[in-house]
Amino acid sequence: MKKFIQWLEVSFAPRMSKVNNNVWIVTLKDSIMQTLPFIFVGSLFAMLAILNEYFPSLPSFWTPYGWTMGMVSLFVAFLVPFNLMEKKRLRKQRIIAGLAGLVLFLITISPQVIADGQAGFGHPALGAGGMFVAIVTGMVTGLVMTLFGKVSFFKEDSAIPDFVRAWFDAMLPVGIVVVFGWVLIDLVKFDLYNIVLAIFSPLAGIIESPFGFMLMMFVWCFLYSMGISTWVLTPITQPVLLAAIAANVAGHAENLVTSTTVFSTYLWVGGIGCTMPLVIMLMRSRANRLKALGRACLVPSIFNINEPVVFGAIAWNPALMIPMWLQGIVLPLVVWFLTKTIPFAPIPMLQFELWYTPFPFATWFTTGSVMALLLLAIVLAISTVIWYPFFVAYEKTTLDAEALADGTAAVASEASVQQVPAHAERSDVPAAAEAAETPASTEATAPAGGITLKRPTRRTVARGPQSNTSPKEN
C-alpha cells in the first residue's frame, strides 16, 4: 500500500496536474463552467414547469427553459475560441474568434436542422444535445485563430490605427474558418454533426450502464482524494450528463446517470464521495483536532461543499482515501440496483442543477417521492458503514499522536521547572562573589528638575580594614 501511495504521489498526481493545467483542457473547463448560470436558471424554470400541470392558465415555463438550457451549445461554441485566445494572450482576437466559432457551429448543425424541419431555435442541437459538436467546432476555430492570430498585413511602423489593422488582420483567420465550414459541410456534404455524435454516443452508452456509472463515480472519488479537481473531466462528462437529463425532460428516455441523480437526489450527500457521514463522525470524535475540523466542515457540507473536509482530512491520507474510493464503487451500484433493476425508487425526470440545495430537500424537489427518501436513507446508512471502520482507525492514530505530543510537552515542562532551583543553587556562590563586586551607588541631586540621580561607586573588598573611595577622590 505504501508503494502504491508513493506511486500516486510521485508519478500519477503530477501527470494529472499537468493535464489539468493544459491550456486546451483549461479552456474547455472554463467554457463549460461559464454556461452554468444559464443551466442553473434553466433548471429553475424546469421545476416551475410543474405548476403548468396544475395551473394550465399560467404561461409555459418551458419557453424560458428553452432560452437558457436550450442554448448552451450555442454559448460553448462562442466561449471555447474566446477563452483560448485569452489563454494564448491573443486578447485582440478573442471576440472575433468567438464569433467565428459561432458561425462554424451554425454551419455544422444547419443540415440536420433543415432535415428535421424544425424552425426557430428549438432544435436539440442548440442545447445539450449539440455540446460535443460545439466543443469540436470551437476547438477547430481556436486552432485556426491561434495559427493566424499573429499574422499581420501591416508593418510595425504603419501609420494605420491599431483598431483598423486589427480588423484587416482578423479577415484571414475568419475567412479560413468560414470557407472551411462552407466547403466541408455544404459543398462536400460531409455530415460533421452526426459523425461527432456517432463518435461520442458510445461514451454515453457506457456511462448509462452499471459499470459505466460505477467507473465514472470511482474516477471522481479517486482523483478528488488526491486533491485533483474533478472539473478536469468536465469536457467529457458534462455533455453526456446534460444530454441525458435533457432526454428525460423531453420524455424520450429514463436515464439514471444524470447530474440531477448524482448531485441532487441520491448519491453525493455532503459533496463528492458522500462525505456527510464522515463530517458527523469527525464532530463526535474524541480527538480534539478531528472534532474541531468536523465542526468547521459542517455548514459547508450541509450545502454539499466538501473541500474543507477533503483537503483537511482525506487528501493523501490512505486511512480515508480508501473508503472514499469505496463510496464511488458501492453507492452507484446500490442506486442502480434499487432504481433500474428493482423499481424501488423513481428515476429523477426533472432537471435540477442547484447542487448546493441541502439533502433531503433536493431529493424531494426532484422526485416528490417518499420511496426516494427511503433510498437516500439507505445510501447514507451504507456510506456510514463504509466510513466507520476506517475513521476509527484514523481516530486512534490521531489520539495516539495527541497523547504523545501532550506527554512530550508535560515532560519538557516538568524538566524546566526542576532546573530552576538547581540553577539557583549553583549560582549562589558566584552571585555572592559578584555582589561583592557590584557597584554601589551614591545619591546626587540634579541641578534642576528635582530628579535624584545615583552615582555609582566601586566597593572594594580587602583583607584589612575596608575603605570606600570614590573615583573623584582617586
Lowest mean pLDDT among 57-61, 251-255, 409-413: 409-413
Lowest mean pLDDT among 44-48, 60-64, 149-153, 232-236: 149-153
Cell of 296: 468547521
- With a cut of 50, say whether residue 242 has pLDDT above it: yes
Torsion of CA 463, 468, 473, 474, to 10 degrees: 30
Q: 164: Cβ–Cβ under 8 A, 6 or more apart, which residues?
A: none
Per-residue pLDDT tens for 59-87? 999 899 989 988 999 999 999 999 999 99
- With a cut of 50, say whether residue 262 has pLDDT above it: yes
Provide the pLDDT for residue 417: 65
Average pLDDT over residues 106-113: 92
Provide the pLDDT for residue 403: 85
pTM of the model: 0.73
Provide the pLDDT for residue 71: 92
The better pLDDT of the pair 118, 37 is held by 37
Provide the pLDDT for residue 435: 46
Q: 160: Cβ–Cβ under 8 A, 6 or more apart, which residues?
A: 154
Cell of 106: 451554425
Average pLDDT over residues 152-169: 70
Provide the pLDDT for residue 336: 97
- Where exactly are the structural domains of the chain? 25-207, 210-425
Share of the chain above pLDDT 70, in %: 83
Provide the pLDDT for residue 465: 42
